[in-house]
Chains A and B, each alone.
Chain A
Amino acid sequence: MSPTRAPHAPARRPLPGWLLVLPAVLFLCAFFVLPLIGNAARSFEGADGGFTLLRYLVLLGDRFNLGVIAETVALSSVVTVICAVIGYPVAYYLVRHAGRFGGVIIFLLIAPLLTSIIMRTYGWQVLFARRGLVNNFLVQDLGLLDRPLQLLNTPGIAIVALVHVLVPYMVLSIATVLQGIDQRLEEGAQMLGASPWRTFREVTLPLSADGIGTGAILVFMIANGSFVTLVLLGGGFQTLPLLIYQQFTTTRDFGMASAMSVVLLVIALACLYLQLRLVRRQGV
């Protein structure tokens, strides 16, 4: 019998689906899941090598630490809401009115992301320093103020800088969903007598809730772990990422840093769950 393949031999069976995702799963296990498990294990390891809950008791049983956790969640929530309020109109304009300028707007949105976050943060310092462009304009050029305003190292500037970094994620998430909405639904509502505002409120907005949800999750998660902007611009915020960094660089209490990062992760997952529930409840 000839060892060569018959002319009409069946084609080789395609690779099973799980094999295709195997490299990604292995990569995630090796460089994400296992380190996370190791990190969590370290947070429960006492000085004598035994099991301890002491760090969590310190972290969750102290008013100051609870305040830091609350501040972390509050800051992320405020930034998320502002990004949604700013991002939705931009996304709406991008999808419905920009026309051939859509590509330019997308480029303008993405362009800041091509710059290092450190450079962007230093840019805020140049603009808003006591002898920066804004204060010089107000004090020297316009003569509106006797002395420069303290604009840096205030909560406002930290929030502005975070929104500046994160709003593109919100815009792109919302725009993607708005793009997929059948405009005939909006036209139908208006033909049946709905005003443009009512059409937006009862048709467009609910249909785009998925995009807002996705954007909110992205923005919240990134803001929750944001670090460089807060370290460089201050603003008086004390968040878990800042304390985690401090445990590593200043006190070298890696166990406490691990416990803090576990708490941060749990907060992020809980908020992710709540946001997903909220979006699904909208019926999308």
Chain B
Amino acid sequence: MKGLNRRRFLQTGAAGAGLALTGAPGLLRAAEPKVLNVTAYGGVWETSIRDCFVAPFEARTGAKATVSLGAPAQWLAQVEASPEKPPLDVLIMSPDLAITAAQAGLMQDLTVDKVPNLAHIPQEFTDACLGKGTYLDYGVAGITYNKNTVPNPPKSLAEFVERVSAGEFVASVPSISYAITPIMLIWMLAKALGGSAEDVEPFFAAMKKMKNNLVFWAGPNDFFNHLASGEADIGIYFDGRTWNHHDEGADWIDFINPTEGGALTAVAVQIPKNANPLAFDYMNEMLDAENQARFAEIMNYAVTNTEVVYSDKLKPRITPWQQTAFPPYEAIGKARNGWVDRWNREIGR
């Protein structure tokens, strides 16, 4: 028998590496059909997804689920690149991208016979994904402020615009680099000020009035830094993230759902065509009332199963979706690129 000399070791290693780079993943997948690849945002989102949905899925089915971290635009691009054999089986999506994906014919229909817990999700949420997905949870974009520097906060978006324009306080609003700015700022303010997805003139007029007292946040942590460092006193932000900061010790922060209704910013879930059939089992776990209740408790966001019973701590923080402004995602999707271009030219960042 030949010994394992250096040359043989290198040859074996090279062959192994070549196999790993070329065909092995496929072989491994074929040998393990019960592995599902699901998605999650990073941080607390990932741990919540693992604890609240992956663990019960694995316990119930005996299958394994791997979690890919990233963002909807990236995941959708991955599915678009390989629709016949999507590398991901369940996608976390923004509502506008969910429509884009559904319209592109990349996603599967969700029905109660495939996902029994879908029966407990408001039909509006499934309709908003054109039947090819539904919403998992939702937040409300509204007015977050520093109680120490803004003892008497504006109750409406119209009042917010007036008082920021008058220089009463500096406001931090999302920059156009943030993916859902077109929804949570452009459309929401336009609608509150008498416009619509077809007419965002009121929004651009308001921004012009407020421009000397505005700073822009590029990401959620950035907004918190603006408030914590005193760069801004108030701003447009999410309810759930506000409560997270509050629970982490920032007891000076508070949130108001404006009287016009803050924009509902939902998280959609979808299953690509040709995904592993186990994806429906996983989706069912995501829509399960008990699992969603635990998810809500960690994330501080409202969830979509109507059977969910929130804890006493969470109850007063949850805004029923009927009291929010439900964005017309399809119309926003059509107008979005024009808004972004106009923002670049008129506002700058």
Contacts and interface: CB of A to CB of B under 8 A. Distances in A.
A131 B230 contact: yes
Contacts of A122: 225
A132 B229 contact: yes
A249 B231 contact: no
B206 to A, nearest CB: 19
A130 B225 CA distance: 12
A253 B337 contact: yes
B45 interface: no
Interface in A147-166: 152-153
Given A236-B349, A242-B349, A251-B337, A131 B231 contact: yes
Contact of A234 (B73, B216, B337): B216
B336 A234 contact: no
A131 B336 CA distance: 35
A153 B215 contact: yes
Nearest to B180: A250
Contacts of B175: 231, 234
A232 B217 CA distance: 7
Interface stretch (B150-158, B196-204, B277-285, B340-348): B340-348
A250 B176 contact: yes
A251 B336 contact: yes
B100 A231 contact: no
B344 A129 contact: no
Interface string B160-194: 00000000001000011111011000000000000
Interface in B193-232: 215-216, 218, 222, 225-226, 229-232
Nearest to A237: B349
B265 to A, nearest CB: 15
A41 B232 CA distance: 44
A129 B231 contact: yes
Question: Which range contains the number of B residues in contact with the other chain?
Answer: 20 to 34
Best-surrounded residue of B71, B97, B229 (most CB of chain A within 10 A): B229
B102 to A, nearest CB: 15
A236 B76 CA distance: 31
Contact of B177 (A126, A129, A245): A245
A152 B230 CA distance: 11
A243 interface: yes
A234 B170 CA distance: 16
Contacts of A31: none
A122 B229 CA distance: 10
Contacts of B348: 236, 238
B77 interface: yes
A245 B100 CA distance: 19
A250 B336 contact: yes
Contact of A125 (B229, B337, B349): B229
A246 B215 contact: no
Interface in A117-144: 122, 125-126, 129-132
Nearest to B80: A254
B179 A250 contact: yes
Given A131-B231, A251-B336, A252-B73, A231 B218 contact: yes
Nearest to A231: B218
Interface in A242-275: 242-243, 245-246, 248-254
Nearest to A249: B179
Contact of A249 (B177, B229, B230, B344): B177
B71 to A, nearest CB: 8
Given A125-B229, A129-B229, A243-B344, A232 B222 contact: yes
Given A130-B170, A152-B215, A242 B177 contact: yes
Contacts of B230: 129-132
B316 to A, nearest CB: 30
A234 B349 contact: yes
A243 to B, nearest CB: 7
Interface in B216-255: 216, 218, 222, 225-226, 229-232
Contacts of B76: 252
A121 to B, nearest CB: 10
A139 B345 CA distance: 35
Contacts of A107: none
Nearest to A65: B344
A101 interface: no
Contact of A254 (B77, B181, B182, B349): B77
B149 to A, nearest CB: 8
A64 interface: yes
A158 to B, nearest CB: 11
Interface string A32-50: 0000000000000000000
B13 to A, nearest CB: 13
Contacts of A246: 176-177, 340, 344
Contacts of B229: 125-126, 129, 131-132
Contacts of A153: 215-216
Q: Which 5 pairs, one residue from A and one from B, show the smallest C-beta to C-beta distance?
A: A131-B230, A129-B229, A129-B231, A231-B218, A249-B179
Interface of B: 71, 73, 76-77, 97, 100, 170, 175-179, 181-182, 215-216, 218, 222, 225-226, 229-232, 336-337, 340, 344-345, 348-349
12 contacts: A126-B225, A126-B229, A130-B231, A132-B229, A153-B216, A234-B215, A250-B176, A251-B337, A251-B340, A252-B73, A252-B76, A252-B100
Given A129-B231, A231-B177, 7 more contacts: A64-B345, A130-B170, A130-B230, A153-B216, A250-B182, A252-B73, A254-B77
